[in-house]
Structure 1
Amino acid sequence: MTESPDDSPSGARRLRLGTELAQIAEQLVALARGQNRLNELYEAVISRDQDLSDVLELIVRTAMDMVGARYGALGVLDESGERLREFIPVGLSEAEIAAMSGVELPSGRGLLGFLITHPEPVRVKDIAAHPASVGFPPGHPPMRCMVGAAVSVRGRVYGNLYLCERHDGRPFDSHDEAMIASFAEAAGLAIDDASLRQQARLDAEQFQRMLLPRLPSLPPFETAAVYRPATTPRYIGGDWYDAALLPNGGIAAVIGDVSGHDLQAAAAMAQIRNMLLALVHNTTVSPAKVLARLDDTVEALTANPVTTICLARIEPTPPADTRTGWRLRWSTAGHPPPLLLTPDGQARYLAAQPDLPIGVDTGITRRDHTRRLPPGSTVIFYTDGVTEHPHQPLDRTMARLAAQAAAHARLPLQELLDTLADHHPSDGHDDMALLAVRIPALRDAEKTGDQSIHDADQR
């Protein structure tokens, strides 16, 4: 009987060689895809400055994509390195999550604990048959195969990456194991990066909070302030505020925003704030002239970044003026306008053409603006982190802020600012500060006076 070419030994070898070459080609494609996913992971960590919790979930999702896994998880070890302090599961459907309601997160027993005590890559075709397996809790979806690897940061095991069930139903192979082991090693670098960035943000936030004043009692005025770091991502910036009593019985209020989102911005904020405090107590110099002097000083003595400021004074009306109330006099260096909340609960912006920020052009002429305030009014100062949203027009977000202030006008002053900060109309990409000053009610000597309000720009 004559052999056909395909049945010959050489034909079998060619068939086997073709199969092996196809597998190699498939592995090369998978490796290239894995490299791309690693690049995307680092891009996300570095350029987007994501929080550590987001990075951990991104690592799990990236690993799942690389080997086509249906389920994935990252178990983070506690300080002892013997137990899990955090478990981040990915891939569970809403129904699967509901079926496991009330079940405690894994504590590191069974196969999870095996990888803790044996921090080497592991591949299991049948989880139930593994000597370390202790079974699944009630409601847990069935899982048959698993691949896992330890994730190390600076030579210490940070946690373990677990992947279960391939979408194609096949068990994980040696190629999957090698790829996940390499990825786990690279993921440790990403975690280290994200951890360092997070710690730097926390340190900077603590530093800035130490620099911001705790407003003292400033009778007869009531004051309140709020500072919030950015939430997406969480970083601090150069937002700041301050308030102080003046020799003439009034109060000075200032709010500012130094460009930048790091320790340098916080340090620059402290310098500018201290310079301004040295200038503001001279009530014979108008707010506009104070900001002009500050601009000259900043240019001459520092290399501080661009800063927006709103400097205001709330003072009793002159004795010769029979009209009742208080006078607000302010100057704006590129800062959002103050928000006036009248005693009857109406909110309106004190719109005035802003001058350039500090650090742009010392040759400009800065302007003062004045407004009479009815007794019992509240003036709210804020930074642009409260109102800026990349997908909404500024007039809409400012209208929302004013509506919130009017709706909660009767709250105690600190509660009012906390509410505005909690329900701010911005997207949270920037830190925010709010400062409010509530002026006294009618002075006895002026209870019969005229309570009109008017604008008067002083050029």
Structure 2
Amino acid sequence: MSGPTRDDTPATGGDRYRFLAEVTWALAESLDTATAADRLARLAVPQLADWATVTVVAGDGAPGTVARAHRDPARLADVDTYLAGRVAAPRDQAQLAAAMHATEPVHLTRVEPELGPGALPDGQVRGAWERLDPRSSLFVPLHARGSAVGVLSLVRCGDRPPAGPDDVALAVEVARCAALALDNARLYGRQVRVAETLQHSLLTPPPQPPGLEVAVRYRPAVSQDLVGGDWYDTVVLPDGATLLVIGDVTGHGVEAAAAMAQLRSAVRTLAYDSPDGPAGTLDRVDRVLAGLHVGTLATALVARLEAATDAAGTRPLRWSSAGHLPPLLLAADGGVRLLATPPQRMLGTDRPGDRTDHVTALGPGETLLLVTDGLVEAGRRGIDEGLARVAGALGGLAGLSADALCDRLLSRVLPDRTDDDVAVLAVRVLPG
């Protein structure tokens, strides 16, 4: 066995406090369960064991997490072979289950090197077990907030003696600190999954009204804690016009996703059941937010694209913006126009002020693009610089379908990893 990566000689009281502080600090930095479990396993060797596994139960039906570490990196392949191929090894089944629900560690001061044919399959798994040469093991329950989070399994190999009372006490303290951090990560991951599920359930495929191509894209932020409230919506109204909406709720996580769901529903319902234009719809949404004390702040842009009004196929476009980014209009000849208007208040601010409709027209072959600030501010750009970059990226895309345009635009503007959610809604008027 190769030399240790950390001194595993008996530690003094000061050394133990430093080790506990290292564990606490390392685990507190991550809200990802897999990362936290991996860090715990790595920290446990060789201070507490030659080989460690961390098993974390999900608790909500999602798959659990298993992390492992060995003081000798060359033996990790054997650990993986054993963990993947074990059948019913008592050391890992009955003892693991008992430890998970116990209040005290389960200490096996002697592990028989020969467990018999019923415990391990022949071949590679048995060979890995023999090379690992486990001699004693300590199973420490990971409990937090009154429930079982998982188990820290510490295995000592070769001629290393079993854990003594001080080592067991240190392992229990490590497990106590780790369990809370792992439970925090597990709960946070559950919140993120709820937010993502809610958000994706609402970002549905758009309808395809006659004479139009509608494409949408949603790109989540790479960081889990930035799952937010970006949304888009498209509805064919009773009078034949097409409602186009894009918005961004302030904040992130489950609260932002839930607020987005409420706001999206309010906008589409009020717009569908009212002859008001976009500005009138936003006014009604404001009254609903205030009257129901929703407490949501959001930017939004609501637009109505009418049916063709002449033989050339020209379609009037009417829109109003509640503090949202302006639309971009890609002409059939490739020119790009920013439909900038004076800024007006966000939704939910409770500040007085009239909202205004703005009007232009779309001809055959032209594409309207609505985006959220995650696209414009990609690469930490300012709004003006980002809008100019998006406009420049639209160059040469005039002949593409709405779907192809969205894909090409995202590939030109967005890096592989984005700091914020991105929503895009593109509507192309088909040539006659």
How high is the TM-score relative to the length of structure 1?
A: 0.68
SS class of match (1:30)? helix
Match of 1:203 in 2: 194
Matches within 5 A, 1:303-452: 303-315=294-306, 325-345=314-334, 349-389=338-378, 391-394=380-383, 398=387, 401-402=390-391, 405-406=394-395, 412-414=401-403, 416-417=405-406, 424-425=414-415, 427-442=417-432
Q: 1:232 aligns with which of 202, 206, 223?
A: 223
- 1:190 maps to which of 157, 181, 190: 181
- Greater CA deviation, 224-233 or 328-337? 224-233
Paired residue secondary structure (2:83) = coil
1:104-183 equivalent positions in 2, closer than 5 A: 104=81, 106-107=83-84, 109=86, 114-119=91-96, 120=105, 130-131=113-114, 134-136=126-128, 149-152=139-142, 156=148, 158-162=150-154, 174=164, 175-183=166-174
Q: Deviations over 1:349-380 (max 9, x none)?
A: 43334322111243123333334434222222
Q: Give the whole-Å Cα distance in 2 for the aligned partners of 1:420 and 1:88.
A: 39
1:387 is displaced (CA, Å) by 4.0
Summarize the Cα distance change of 1:123–1:27 in structure 2 as closer, same or farther, 3 Å threshold.
farther
Tell me the amino acid that sits aligned with residue 331 of structure 1: S
Does residue 1:43 correspond to 2:28, yes or no? yes
Contact 1:115-1:148 at 8 Å conserved across structures:
no
Deviations 1:107-138 (A, max 9, x none): 2649986244434555889x9x9556955389
Q: 1:177/1:253 Cα in 2 relative to 1: closer, same or farther (>3 Å)?
A: same
| In structure 2, distance between residues paired with 1:318 and 1:64 | 74
Q: Which runs of 5+ in 2 are unaligned?
A: 1-8, 97-104, 121-125
Change in 2 beyond 3 A, CA 1:53/1:353: farther
Identity of aligned residues (%): 29
Alpha-carbon distance change, 366 to 224 in structure 1, aligned in 2, over 3 angstroms: same
Q: What root-mean-square deviation, in Å, do the aligned CA atoms of Structure 1 and Structure 2 show? A: 4.6
Find the residue that maps to 2:41 and give its secondary structure.
helix
Aligned to 1:32: 17
Amino acid in structure 2 at the alignment position of 1:254: V
Q: Are the structure 2 counterparts of residues 213 and 145 from structure 1 closer, same or farther at C-alpha, using a change threshold of 3 Å?
A: same
Residues 1:260 and 2:245 aligned together: no
Query: Which one of 290, 294, 298 corresponds to residue 299 of structure 1?
Result: 290
AA partner of residue 299 (structure 2): T
Q: Does 1:74 align with 2:54?
A: yes
> Residue 28 of structure 2 contacts residue 181 of structure 2 at CA under 8 Å; is this kept in 1?
no
Indicate how the Cα distance of structure 1 residues 259 and 62 shifts in structure 2: closer, same or farther if over 3 A, else same. farther
Query: C-alpha distance in 2, partners of 1:424/1:374?
Result: 29
The answer to whether the 8 A contact 1:235-1:431 is kept is: yes
Contact kept? 1:401, 1:424, Cα under 8 Å: no
1:365 is paired with a residue of what secondary structure? coil
Which shows bigger deviation, 145-154 or 425-434?
145-154
Partner residue of 2:3?
none
CA change 1:244–1:325 in 2 (3 A) is same
Relative to structure 1, is the Cα distance of residues 332 and 52 closer, same or farther in structure 2, using a 3 angstrom cutoff? Answer: same
Counterpart residue number, 1:457: none
CA distance in 1, matches of 2:147, 2:364: 65
C-alpha contact (below 8 Å) 2:45/2:71 kept by paired residues: no
The equivalent residue for 1:245 is 236
CA shift at 1:308, angstroms?
0.6
Shift of 1:145: 8.8
Q: Is the 8 A contact 1:386 1:425 kept in 2?
A: no
Kindly tell me: are residues 395 and 362 of structure 1, through their superposed partners in 2, closer, same or farther at Cα, counting changes over 3 Å?
Answer: closer
Distance apart, 1:253 and its partner CA: 0.4
Count of residue pairs the alignment pairs up = 398
Paired residues of 1:218 and 1:244 also in contact (CA < 8 A):
no
Aligned partner of residue 107 in structure 1, secondary structure: helix
Q: Which amino acid aligns with 1:413?
A: A
Aligned to 1:53: 34
Determine the C-alpha separation between the residues in 1 that align with 2:193 and 2:58. 20
Larger Rg: 1
Q: TM-score, length-normalised on structure 2?
A: 0.71
Counterpart amino acid of 1:107?
A
